[in-house]
A and B are shown apart, each in its own frame.
Chain A
Amino acid sequence: MFGSYEFDWSSIPGAMGFLGQGLLVSLEITGLALVAGIVWGTLLAMARLSSIKPLAWAAAGYVNLFRAVPLVMVLLWFFLIVPKLLENFLGLPSGSDVRLASAMIGFALFESAYYAEIIRAGIQSVPKGQLAAAHALGMSYPQAMLHVVLPQAFRNMVPLLLTQAIILFQDTSLVYVSALADFFGAAYKVGDRDGRLVELVLFAGAIYFVLCFAASQGVRYFQKRLQTA
């Protein structure tokens, strides 16, 4: 199909500033969702491992629900439906700020479900005796988790958490459905404006590939160093 297609990359150099800003937005979203995902994911993981059954069931339900629906759908719900509901029930003023914030929250809630599973496995990788020893020294459950179990769990999980962060960075490309000017959204806009969608989408793909490949090589290097240390 590209046989007769004439590539024209000339609209890219002039759009570098705009694209760069988009990349920054993507990295910001990644950072925010990463922090929210780890914090909320840790709480979900602890709830899921809790001996309080209703809490464990609620957390399991949450994780399974978000892992069973496509991200794009969650984003659209949170972009289109949740703000409407808030407007109707809470009488909030309508506006794009609410919609964008809502889409971001949806994104973080979705990614947390994946982090929760990684963190749960990490917590379970710490021998039970460690918690018993912390309790035996008089530490409360939160103290024991915070100072003894979670630091070890996170140390075991670092490579997996970083790998998931790379996936999360790729997932940010889907927020273009919420009209946020992330990197992919910016590339799409430029291509659409200049009638050069093919070039811009290829270019965006190449940048995603280079960044993610470099990052995953970095994770592998880090992992090797952890193993030999």
Chain B
Amino acid sequence: MITIDKVSKHYGNFQVLTDCSTHVNKGEVVVVCGPSGSGKSTLIKCVNGLEPFQDGAIHVNGTSVGAPKTNLSKLRAHVGMVFQHFELFPHMTISDNLRLAQIKVLKRDKDEAAEKGHYFLDRVGLKAHAHKFPGQLSGGQQQRVAIARALAMDPICMLFDEPTSALDPEMINEVLDVMTELAQEGMTMMCVTHEMGFAKRVAHRVIFMDHGKIVEDDSKEAFFANPRSERAQQFLAKILQH
């Protein structure tokens, strides 16, 4: 579904990504972790072309993301993305947040878009909040709405960039539960997260990044049983203390 082939990116002299290669198969859940600043967000944003890259190639469902003639809007319409800070549109109701891109991008008619939006809002357990504005919801609720907004576009895969790291601890699980359910239904997912419990339960593979490089790319079992690199061992030791 997603193949990342020898991708490198730099800002001026600063190398953010170096020769990154990996893939996410259909129905697979891949967790990406690593210290802050290691390039996780940059890598995942390259997948839907939010960040350009200088070298290498990324294909999503056969479409080359970096190719100049690729219609990025069309590609992104079917690649869901969830951000650390939710990024709901604060000037619109939850209903309108769910409908906007369906109407403007997929050209669905208003009723169909509303119906689809409400279906996914119900799935994340927030049916009663449709008429509210994002600012009236808790962080966990906002993130669930953001997931529903992405799902309403009928994505072929979902990208998550630290979806729980801006949340108060008591709200993390409600978001992880939604993600777990999604994974169990067979959604293809690439998740940047430090929630190792989630990784252990749900992921098929775990990628560890450091200084812009993919240092480990292994099955979940192999990764947790015995990380090969010292950096990954240290990272795991630190993060599992909590």
Contact = CB atoms under 8 A, between A and B. Distances in A.
B236 interface: no
Contacts of A53: none
Nearest to A132: B50
A155 to B, nearest CB: 6
Interface string A137-167: 1111001000110011001000000000000
B87 A129 contact: yes
B89 A139 contact: no
B69 interface: no
Interface in B67-123: 73-81, 83, 85, 87-91, 100-101, 104-106
Summarize A's interface: helix, strand, loop or mixed. helix
A137 B76 contact: yes
B73 A140 contact: yes
B214 interface: no
Contact of B101 (A130, A132, A138): A138
Contacts of A137: 76-77, 100-101, 105, 149-150, 153
B48 interface: yes
B51 to A, nearest CB: 9
Name the residue among B50, B81, B91 with the largest chain A CB count within 10 angstroms. Answer: B91
A135 interface: yes
A148 B104 CA distance: 12
Contact of B105 (A130, A132, A138, A151): A138
A136 interface: yes
Nearest to B152: A137
Given A147-B104, A148-B89, A155-B91, A133 B83 contact: yes
Contact of B91 (A129, A134, A138, A151): A151
A136 B89 CA distance: 13
A151 B90 CA distance: 10
Contact of B50 (A127, A136, A148): A136
Nearest to A140: B73
B76 A152 contact: no
Contacts of B80: 136
B223 to A, nearest CB: 28
A19 B43 CA distance: 67
A135 B79 CA distance: 11
A206 to B, nearest CB: 40
A155 B100 CA distance: 19
A152 B91 CA distance: 7
Contacts of A135: 50, 73, 76
B91 A139 contact: no
Contact of A132 (B75, B87, B106, B150): B87
B100 A138 contact: no
Contacts of B76: 135-138
Contacts of B90: 152
Contacts of A129: 83, 85, 87
Given A137-B149, A138-B73, A147-B100, 11 more contacts: A132-B83, A134-B101, A136-B48, A136-B50, A136-B79, A136-B81, A137-B76, A137-B101, A137-B105, A140-B73, A152-B91
